[in-house]
């Protein structure tokens, strides 16, 4: 019997949940028959059942405590298009270890106060990472990442949020232990998988139907975790191991599973430099981008005399922006340039100067556990010019305690914001005295307003600084920097030959069936990431088989499941479209590979809007138009 509040599977005939103590049955007021807690009418006498709230008062949270602000407007506007959608999400369960013991020892008002503080921390960090809280229970929460709005990577934000929560819980525990004399620690479990979004309430709390064991395994992982730790599934580990450090948790027996489940302990986030260095797969064929690399070299040489100079690399997700820069970086090593790397995140759009703080933390080797004094000491010792660097006091504001919210940053006194901008510029002047500096910021489509404002400020600075700023992203630079004029490097899809060479280099064989290879290359649409992930998936799943002089597949191409990384990118792209465009694409997907205007017209409301919608979808590169026999025919582009 599944608890409707925490999703825990209880044995049959239980009246209360063995995990969160919520009632599993409710008595009919007319005949007294015990019904399932979710029943609206009595199964004995058909009488109506009036429900009362069974969760503690402190678990009744306000509307904004379910969904972060940056998702509210979009989700409210588009929620009708999300109902019934299948989403690939990460599910995070967190609860208080030994909560029953704590509740028995303390006064209910003290428990209320403690849990209110705990929920505050959970809500802040989950929302900051772009998650939504689906449920508050008496002693924990269930959160989703990747719903109601999809983004291409929901696993990393879930891991990031879990680490931030546990970090803040250490100080919270010390306060609780000192004041109340009880141990207060959280257990967290994370698993990723599909769910189907049901209904979205006025507070954006999601009703959903779990597919497979997505939520159940996450809840089981949380219950198996030691207090103060984070336990994740192998699926999470495989997708996040390049970005986070894990310990092997071994094989665990899990209720409802025939075989033991491999689990991992999430330890900490890896440094940006480590992540970027390990993102380029060894031995993978690199597509010839000599023209683009030559332009980057030219911009670098110009920046030495006339910097700061800003340039942009644009293209769709997976097109090879990061790979291009990594090969350009080989040139920079010879030039002994200083590399500062930062990355914007969809969950960090409300955090001021997020990528800048990230890049300087990496440069100065700062860690999350460093105190304010340790941060300042490390920075001063690396610069070794303390007496001359008057700007440092303002620069330290970048690392002052909790990350600044964007709205607070804009409300700050103007002179203080300008002082921080000048301090960051002066720091760049200091560290570029002997070596040129390259600032690389990836995923600029998610840059917060303050980061865009600062980069504009730096580029327009009258002082000459040997700094080249390389911004990479999917949208056009005009959206990032309306006040700056630049000609971006646009990366185009690979040619058929380039795509084939890349795919066969991943498979490490030139004997792959050419017909099958052509089908997969066609599906990729010239996207390198798609080809790399598909090739790795074929090898990982053991789908390749050698037959005399040829290598083929065990299953037809259309039966190969698209890798999760590609599914995430596609889902995020669809959710970024206007709901009318998204709805039309979903209808077309049901119809098939090819479709006609006449077939679609009766399905679209209001009448007369289909032409404009199709035109927009063609511009997005999702449909291709073919005109034959005076009929408008469309097909999915390399579907």
Cα–Cα dist 572/563, whole Å? 14
Superfamily covering domain 57-270: Nucleotide cyclase, GGDEF domain (3.30.70.1230)
What is the average per-residue pLDDT within 446-450?
A: 88
Note the Cα 159 to chain centre separation in Å. Answer: 9
- Residue 274: count of CB within 10 angstroms of its CB: 14
CB 311 within 8 A of CB 470: yes
CATH number of 577-636: 1.10.10
Handedness of CA 552, 556, 559, 562 (dihedral sign): positive
Whole-model pTM: value is 0.69
User: What residues have CB less than 8 Å from 386, skipping those under 6 apart?
Assistant: 380, 392
Handedness of CA 315, 317, 323, 329 (dihedral sign): positive
Q: How confident is the model at residue 122 (pLDDT cuts 50, 70, 90)?
A: very high
Q: How confident is the model at residue 355 (pLDDT cuts 50, 70, 90)?
A: very high
Q: How confident is the model at residue 11 (pLDDT cuts 50, 70, 90)?
A: confident
Cα–Cα dist 238/457, whole Å? 40
Q: How confident is the model at residue 279 (pLDDT cuts 50, 70, 90)?
A: very low
- Give backbone dihedrals phi and psi of 222, rounded to 5 degrees, phi first: -60, -40
Residue pLDDT, tens place only, 310-353: 999 998 888 888 888 888 888 888 888 999 999 888 767 767 88
Cα–Cα dist 378/365, whole Å? 8
Burial 555-575 (b: 16+ CB within 10 A, else e): eeeeebeebbbbbbbbbbbbb
Residues of the chain with pLDDT > 90: what percent? Answer: 24
pLDDT at site 275: 43
pLDDT at site 627: 66
Alpha helix positions (H), 181-233 = 214-224
Q: For the chain, how many helices (H) and strands (E)?
A: 23, 20
CB 443 within 8 A of CB 348: no
Tokens describing residue 447: 């840059």
Tokens describing residue 46: 């058909």
Q: How far is CA 486 from CA 46, 221, 439, 480, in A?
A: 70, 50, 17, 11
Tokens describing residue 55: 């969760």
Residue pLDDT, tens place only, 475-528: 788 888 988 888 788 888 888 888 888 888 888 887 888 888 888 888 787 888
Domain boundaries, the chain: 1-54, 57-270, 274-490, 496-566, 577-636
Note the Cα 199 to chain centre separation in Å. Answer: 23
- Give backbone dihedrals phi and psi of 595, rounded to 5 degrees, phi first: -155, 160
pLDDT at 296 over 90: yes
Residue pLDDT, tens place only, 526-565: 888 888 888 888 888 888 887 767 788 888 877 777 777 7
Query: Could you check whether 274-490 and 577-636 share the same CATH topology?
Result: no
User: Which helix or strand (DSSP H or E) is residue 635 part of?
Assistant: strand 631-636
pLDDT at site 277: 44
According to CATH, the topology of domain 274-490 is Rossmann fold (3.40.50)
DSSP state for residue 2 in the 8-state scheme? B
Average pLDDT, whole number, for the chain? 80
Cα–Cα dist 564/366, whole Å? 32
DSSP state for residue 525 in the 8-state scheme? T
pLDDT at 197 over 70: no
CB 59 within 8 A of CB 117: no
Q: How confident is the model at residue 22 (pLDDT cuts 50, 70, 90)?
A: low
pLDDT at site 546: 77
């Amino acid at each position: 019997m599944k608890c409707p509040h925490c999703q825990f599977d209880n044995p049959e005939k239980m009246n209360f949940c063995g995990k969160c103590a919520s009632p599993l049955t409710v008595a009919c007021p007319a005949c007294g028959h015990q019904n399932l807690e979710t029943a609206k009418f009595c199964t004995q006498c058909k009488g109506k059942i009036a429900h009362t709230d069974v969760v503690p008062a402190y678990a009744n949270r306000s509307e904004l405590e379910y969904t972060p602000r940056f998702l509210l407007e979009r989700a409210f506007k588009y929620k009708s298009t999300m109902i019934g959608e299948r989403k690939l999400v990460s599910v995070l369960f967190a609860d208080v270890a030994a909560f029953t013991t704590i509740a028995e020892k303390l006064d209910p008002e003290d428990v209320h106060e403690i849990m209110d503080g705990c929920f505050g921390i959970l809500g802040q960090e989950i929302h900051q990472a772009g998650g939504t809280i689906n449920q508050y229970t008496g002693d924990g929460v269930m959160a989703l990442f990747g719903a109601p709005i999809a983004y291409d990577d929901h696993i990393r934000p879930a891991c990031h949020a879990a680490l931030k929560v546990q970090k803040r819980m250490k100080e919270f525990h010390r306060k609780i232990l000192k004041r109340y004399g009880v141990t207060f620690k959280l257990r967290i479990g994370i698993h990723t998988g599909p769910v189907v979004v049901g209904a979205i309430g006025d507070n954006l709390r999601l009703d959903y139907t779990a597919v497979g064991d997505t939520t159940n395994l996450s809840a089981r992982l949380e219950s198996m975790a030691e207090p103060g730790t984070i336990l994740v599934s192998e699926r999470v580990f495989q997708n996040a191991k390049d970005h986070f450090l894990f310990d092997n948790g071994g094989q665990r027996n899990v209720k409802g599973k025939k075989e033991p489940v491999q689990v991992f302990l999430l330890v900490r986030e890896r440094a940006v430099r480590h992540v970027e260095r390990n993102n380029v797969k060894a031995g993978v064929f690199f597509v010839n981008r000599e023209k683009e690399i030559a332009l980057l070299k030219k911009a670098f040489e110009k920046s030495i005399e006339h910097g700061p100079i800003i340039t942009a690399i644009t293209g769709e997700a997976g097109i090879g922006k990061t790979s291009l820069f990594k090969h350009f970086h080989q040139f920079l090593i010879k030039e002994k340039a200083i590399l500062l790397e930062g990355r914007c995140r969809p969950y960090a759009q409300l955090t001021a100067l997020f990528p800048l703080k990230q890049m300087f933390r990496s440069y100065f080797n700062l860690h999350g556990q460093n105190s304010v004094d340790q941060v300042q000491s490390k920075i001063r010792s690396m610069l070794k010019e303390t007496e001359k660097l008057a700007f440092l006091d303002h620069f330290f504001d970048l690392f002052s305690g909790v990350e600044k919210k964007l709205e607070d940053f804009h409300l700050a006194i103007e002179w203080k914001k300008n002082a921080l901008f000048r301090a960051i510029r002066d720091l760049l002047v200091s560290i570029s005295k002997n070596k040129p500096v390259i600032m690389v910021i990836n995923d600029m489509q998610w840059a917060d307003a303050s980061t865009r404002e600062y980069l504009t400020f730096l580029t327009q600075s009258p002082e000459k600084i040997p700094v080249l700023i390389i911004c990479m992203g999917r949208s056009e630079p005009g959206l990032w920097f309306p006040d700056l004029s630049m000609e971006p490097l646009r990366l185009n899809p690979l040619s058929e030959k380039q795509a084939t060479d890349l795919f066969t280099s991943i498979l490490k064989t030139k004997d792959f069936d050419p017909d099958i290879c052509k089908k997969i290359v066609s599906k990729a649409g010239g996207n390198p990431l798609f080809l790399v992930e598909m090739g790795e998936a074929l090898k990982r799943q053991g789908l390749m088989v050698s037959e005399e002089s040829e290598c083929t597949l065990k299953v037809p191409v259309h039966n190969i499941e698209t890798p999760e990384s590609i599914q995430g990118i596609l889902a995020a792209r669809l959710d970024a479209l206007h709901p009318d465009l998204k709805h039309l694409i979903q209808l077309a997907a049901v119809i098939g590979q090819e479709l006609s205007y006449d077939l679609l017209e009766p399905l679209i409301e209001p009448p007369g809007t289909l032409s404009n919608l199709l035109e927009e979808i063609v511009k997005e590169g999702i449909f291709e138009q073919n005109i034959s026999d005076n009929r408008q025919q469309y097909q999915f582009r390399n579907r």
